[in-house]
Structure 1
């Protein structure tokens, strides 16, 4: 009798390992873009601590090999008063307790399992197994049974009769729900509610605004609405903080009360018009202290604040180009090694400059987002980027982060990846700034993937429309003037010199990785659309990150000596008569405490100040024989332009 009792106690001690937490509901496929998929877990007891558990999703497709593709660490989470934990994106309602990216759960035939294990036990690509398995659901969307996956999990004594559950065909409106007896039903989704209709009925509170974006100084109406009329006053708070947007940027009450007998309350928030150019910002409305039985219906709702203090550049946009206002920040003698050379010797000398492994840096593909926000900044609005093919501005905040590209901008490779053979690695997902970089050389073709000289901000759908077509096959959207054509041609020419393995050829080569066409089209585009101030500014910006330049913007004639009408001829830099015409100007006092006098300037001109690393700091007209500088102490480069001539001088600020 004693032995039987011990056996019974031993069994009871093991049973919770397989029954404390189960997969209660799965919605793996939803209509549209699949942003409302979710997984719901259920514990035997309410408010169950999930430390030590993980959820693993397995890919059952032929290429997936029954291996893991997504793992969720449940440490720090607990189930609610009904024993439920809802996992999904911020598009799921009611709002999930645990957020994951949208469109990450695959349709099937796949599996999702709970393990009592660490996240590190299941690196991506781990084949499904039954070690420390707690619960599993094998599912599909009208797919054939994954017999391999079923066999793996059927080896566990608790799942010997496991079946694959069909949620329905693609874009269905169903979910798979666990019944109390362990079987499954496919029916209308019930996120954050027990499948049998029992338990506590939560009262979800929705938040909304009267618009999606506002100008500085505007008043925002925020409304909170409960699904069920409240029987007592319900008071709660919310925050609006997000990145740089904080309590200094608005006024208004962030604590509200839904009065007894009602289901709604509104509050007014006034956005501060501070007179500063901080860029467009997004406020995020988030519940601070909403307690059960009240839960968020939605949460982290964004609204945009348009900064009316944006800056307008002193040079034109590509559709209204200017020339000669922005000057190259190339170091003295940067192109001197090219003089007296021709043909392959000229190409090699040029590559030695722009691919110098002792100088040039390669950044990550994610760093490129920040580079483009500066390099492709819309001259007409500093809070926007200029879209290369669409020839229009778009808010910097509208960078594409998800699968939806409409109204978004992204990174366009002028020499497409599939044509060039470069690619991303895991480290490319990190934005680590200017001072963290890869060493690179002419053979580092992979780095072409994130070379900002050949990446442009582009409208998402238009980027997809271009695909990997050659220029000439693709000529831009209808109704545009083609202001991008010379720019993209010069970026492709740059790549062909910068990296070994890339070349520009006549016609449209099919399937030859590393080749890009059509040479004659690119030459025509280059000749008909010369470098303007926008492109020169872009070259200067990229130089501060990569420490190399696109030489065909600084010295556009070089293209003729390598691919065009002057092939075989000896290159010598222009003598720069215009550069020397103002060399007799006197600039004093130097060092200066702020005011510099310009002596010898006969006609109105313009000055530009650069930092020693090539950053353009200020550019203004010279109207009265002197300029006032409000700069920190240090050394700077002063460039003066007048009547098509220019001179450059080094100055010191005390």
Structure 2
């Protein structure tokens, strides 16, 4: 029997060092990039590095916008910077660790740049895509310019990165499928009593500049937490989805869901009543910036998007599958006691006009952490509104 000769010790050291060096090279720089067309044809879940030009942000299966980017959550790649056919694009998810550097709302100058992205190839927005990326890099640059995902998330933004955990069953879906998936995620929440709502609102809507006060929704006034009650200048619990629209009253569930309950001046709440939301009307004297007529209410500009996203949440959370009414949005006003709320086309405009701000994001996080253990997905993923209703 012939024995294989032993390797020289120096050769062993060199071999080990070579392997270690290979493992330390960031994936985006070490792998041979494939084209976007190749990536579209390899939707098998395997990881790859894709090289392409940033041509916009996908907001639905067949929609990619090239300006006024709604968020930092996704981008589209193509083999040509002038490509307009969505069928020739790869949709790339951008998780929280990469959004500050590679999100288009924050970095619109990325449009037209050629980049490398590494991650598993699989459907996103029901379209050929790359999800849960591990690295981004400028194409052709040295390994030191590659951005790789940290071992643990370092983001401190309200909402954090819930794509890989909380929202994992919704990623890549659109339309009715996305709505159904989100309902399955957000309906498994802790429910409050109507009395518990008082104390919750004192935390969720706390004035960031004065911890003794809350901010009132329609007036924007900072008011003492202790002045909750029924007198005209007190604050009370406003059902943004009017509780008569579906006739759920203050029942545990839709009637006590803090995602759409907000502190509001008592008399202003009474003036709004159960009106749908729409443009126009006469100024509301006690709440400058708000307008109303016989059947609709227009809130001040600073909370138009907040109102829209609260109604989007309600229409997804309450689907009639857990003993509660099936709430739906429509394009009407004067919906009365029917389980509908409008006006959808205007709400979508307000949603785009007034994106989530720090107050709204903090509120979403506090509800998740301290009270209901569920989230408003349209604060975390504003692009999903157009995906479902656009």
TM score, norm. by length of structure 1: 0.32
Distance, in Å, in 2 between the alignment partners of 1:482 and 1:325 is 27
> Deviation of residue 513 (structure 1)?
1.4
RMSD: 2.0
Distance, in Å, in 2 between the alignment partners of 1:557 and 1:538 is 19
Out of 307, 311, 336, the residue aligned to residue 488 of structure 1 is 307
Distance, in Å, in 1 between the alignment partners of 2:161 and 2:338 is 32
Count of aligned pairs: 215
Distance, in Å, in 2 between the alignment partners of 1:399 and 1:512 is 27
Distance, in Å, in 1 between the alignment partners of 2:267 and 2:206 is 20
Quote the residue 2:344 is aligned against: 519
Out of 249, 258, 275, the residue aligned to residue 452 of structure 1 is 258
Q: Which has the higher contact order (CA 8 A, sep 6+)?
A: 2
Quote the residue 2:273 is aligned against: 467
Q: Does 1:342 align with 2:171?
A: no
Over 3 Å counting, the alpha-carbon distance change for 1:395 and 1:474 in structure 2 is farther
> Deviation of residue 534 (structure 1)?
0.2
Report Cα offsets for 1:76-133 as digits up to 9, x if no partner: xxxxxxxxxxxxxxxxxxxxxxxxxxxxxxxxxxxxxxxxxxxxxxxxxxxxxxxxxx
Distance, in Å, in 2 between the alignment partners of 1:458 and 1:512 is 22
1:390·1:477 contact (CA, 8 Å) conserved in 2?
Answer: no
Quote the residue 1:421 is aligned against: 247
Counterparts of 1:142-541 in structure 2, within 5 Å, are 326-329=157-160, 331=162, 332-356=164-188, 360-400=189-229, 402=230, 405-424=231-250, 447-472=253-278, 477=284, 479-480=288-289, 481-500=300-319, 501-511=326-336, 513-541=338-366
Q: Which runs of 5+ in 2 are unaligned?
A: 1-154, 290-299, 320-325
Quote the residue 2:29 is aligned against: none
Distance, in Å, in 2 between the alignment partners of 1:548 and 1:339 is 17
Distance, in Å, in 1 between the alignment partners of 2:184 and 2:385 is 17
Over 3 Å counting, the alpha-carbon distance change for 1:473 and 1:335 in structure 2 is same
Distance, in Å, in 1 between the alignment partners of 2:156 and 2:211 is 18
> Deviation of residue 361 (structure 1)?
1.0
Distance, in Å, in 2 between the alignment partners of 1:489 and 1:474 is 16
> Deviation of residue 533 (structure 1)?
0.5
Distance, in Å, in 1 between the alignment partners of 2:337 and 2:267 is 26
- Secondary structure of the structure 2 residue equivalent to 1:525: helix
> Deviation of residue 380 (structure 1)?
1.8
Question: Higher strand fraction: Structure 1 or Structure 2?
Answer: 1
> Deviation of residue 330 (structure 1)?
5.7
Distance, in Å, in 2 between the alignment partners of 1:347 and 1:411 is 28
2:247·2:337 contact (CA, 8 Å) conserved in 1?
Answer: no
Distance, in Å, in 2 between the alignment partners of 1:415 and 1:556 is 19
Greater C-alpha radius of gyration: 1
> Deviation of residue 325 (structure 1)?
7.2
Question: Higher helix fraction: Structure 1 or Structure 2?
Answer: 2
Report Cα offsets for 1:22-68 as digits up to 9, x if no partner: xxxxxxxxxxxxxxxxxxxxxxxxxxxxxxxxxxxxxxxxxxxxxxx
Q: Does 1:548 align with 2:374?
A: yes
Distance, in Å, in 1 between the alignment partners of 2:280 and 2:209 is 27
Report Cα offsets for 1:549-580 as digits up to 9, x if no partner: 0000011110010011xxxxxxxxxxxxxxxx
Q: Does 1:560 align with 2:386?
A: yes
1:489·1:526 contact (CA, 8 Å) conserved in 2?
Answer: yes
2:243·2:250 contact (CA, 8 Å) conserved in 1?
Answer: no
